[in-house]
Structure 1
Amino acid sequence: MRKLVLENISKVYGEGDGKVTALDRVSLEVQAGEFIGVVGPSGSGKSTFLSVAGALLSPSSGTILLNGQDITKLSSKELTKVRLKQIGFVFQSSNLVPYLNVRDQLLFVSRLAGSIEKEAEQRAQELLSSLDMVSRQFNYPNQLSGGQRQRVAIARAFMNNPQLILADEPTASLDSKHGRAVAEMLAREVRERGKAAIMVTHDDRVLDLCDRIVTIRDGKLYE
């Protein structure tokens, strides 16, 4: 089953002599249970690619199908719902809310999506248990290590049971041991629950966990 399909996606900024092509007719299919790594030099278009795939940026041309739905035709309000309920984001910086404890970081996401509170609380406990963070659930971000903060960020990304997970350099700020653990968590969620995931990374230490590796160079994608 295809979770994500990008067909001839281009992203162009500016006009005339000032025109910059960030993505140039990029196509990619991601199946359920597939973990794809994206590599390439800085400035090659990797982050733009991830933002377009996650409906944070609209493409200049092309089609994006998420679970069979063409999301390029949706309104801004509809795209917000798609991002909340169908896509989980993990960034290089954990981006945790400083005044929320670990448990509330997860429940906040569910409240935004309108989930039932009891079910959300149960889901939060299951995720914190699976990531060995139950003992830290009432701690705040400044009381956690970098690896712990990134585990909370992953739990938050998984909270609404998204079908697509997008990770932008999730191991960049972590040491080898914790970086590997974070990438393994992502891979396990993808394979055990039949999700699809794309991870942009410069970290060669975790590429062996990916099913496929694609390269973006000068806005073009190569497999």
Structure 2
Amino acid sequence: MSEEKLVLENVSKSFGEGENAVVVLNDLSLRVKAGELVAIVGPSGSGKSTFLCIAGALLSPSSGRVIIDGDEINKMSPGQMNSIRLKKIGFIFQSANLIPYLTVRDQLLLVTELEGNRNKEAKKRADDLLEKLGLAHRKHHYPESLSGGERQRVAIARAWMNNPEIIFADEPTASLDSERGRAVVQMLADEVKLRGKSAVMVTHDQRMLDLCDRVVWMEDGKLVESNSVQV
């Protein structure tokens, strides 16, 4: 597949103004094709989290272009960007960010409710995702009764719930043991290939890099090396 799901062209991001401005991203470019899982690695403070926020339409760049599934998001209104996030993007954060008063199954169904859709098909998709991640027996439980690893797996299932074109994952294996973490990244890799989606994963977990199609090194706000990065 050659269709590009994510394009960043000469993206820079600064916080503050004038002499006090802090440059976090510096003329960064990246293209991610359909069917591709890309890992972003690099030291703390290199700009990885800011990169994810801009690529995922949570922040606007100071300069440059960001295109998600053909839509140039830096020309959009906040409402349009919110629609893109809801319909085309799935997020997996390092902390699960689950809603404490919703059951596991309802965490997933909330995503479809925001799109005005809670039908039998949505419920089946939620149940299928929970089954795939080994959580079917926990679907009526609340977050407080789950382990850290279980909460993270719920967050991963929730990210896939709206059938997004691209998944952004920030340290998705941080609270998982090696076996479960590898299973989660394998699921990401399998899903993007099977469905022609894309995924970008920020990670420090070197054990997962062999499952990725590309590994890109970030340092000082720049992507300085790609393809076969040794870390």
* 1:26-76 residue CA offsets vs partner (Å, 9 max, x unmatched): 100000010000001000000000000000000001111111111111100
In structure 1, the residue matched to 2:137 is 135
C-alpha distance in 2 between matches for 1:174 and 1:118: 31
Match of 1:41 in 2: 43
Tell me the distance in 1 between the aligned counterparts of 2:176 and 2:133. Answer: 16
Unaligned runs of 5+ in 1: none
1:111, 1:59 → 2: CA distance? 30
Question: What amino acid maps onto 1:187 in structure 2?
Answer: A
Look up the match of 1:74: 76
Given that 1:164 and 1:197 are in contact with CA atoms closer than 8 Å, whether structure 2 keeps it comes out as yes
Among the aligned pairs, what percent are the same residue?
Answer: 61
1:119 aligns with 2:144: no
In 2, Cα distance between the equivalents of 1:46 and 1:190? 21
Deviates more, 1:33-42 or 1:7-16: 7-16
TM-score (norm. length: structure 2)? 0.93
Q: CA contact under 8 A between 1:168 and 1:200: conserved in structure 2?
A: yes
Once the two structures are superposed, what CA deviation does each residue of 1:78-107 show, in whole Å capped at 9, x if it has no partner? Answer: 111110110000011111111111110001
Any stretches of 5+ residues in structure 2 without a counterpart? 227-231
Match of 1:155 among 154, 157, 161: 157
Question: Contact 2:189–2:211 (CA<8 Å) still a contact in 1?
Answer: yes
Letter in 1 for 2:121: E
2:216 aligns with one of 211, 214, 217? 214
Give the TM-score normalised by structure 1.
0.96
Q: Which runs of 4+ in 1 moved over 3 A?
A: none
Q: Does 2:146 correspond to 1:144?
A: yes
Please give the per-residue CA displacement for 1:163-215, whole angstroms capped at 9, x wherever unaligned.
00000011122222222222222222112211100000111111111100001
8 A Cα contact 1:6 1:27, kept in partner? yes
Which one-letter code corresponds to 1:55 in the other structure? A
Residues of 1 paired with 2:175 and 2:137: CA distance?
A: 23
* Distance (Å, rounded) in 1 between the aligned partners of 2:154 and 2:106: 11
Amino acid at match of 2:176: L
Q: How does 1:18-97 map to 2 (within 5 A)?
A: 18-97=20-99
RMSD: 1.1
Q: Is the 8 A contact 1:81 1:113 kept in 2?
A: no
Contact 1:40/1:215 (CA < 8 Å) preserved in 2?
yes
* Structure 1 contact 150–182 (Cα < 8 Å) conserved: no
Amino acid at match of 1:94: A
CA contact 2:159–2:167 (8 Å) conserved in 1: yes
Query: CA shift at 1:160, angstroms?
Result: 0.4
Aligned match for 2:106, one of 90, 104, 113: 104
How many residue pairs align between the two structures?
Answer: 223
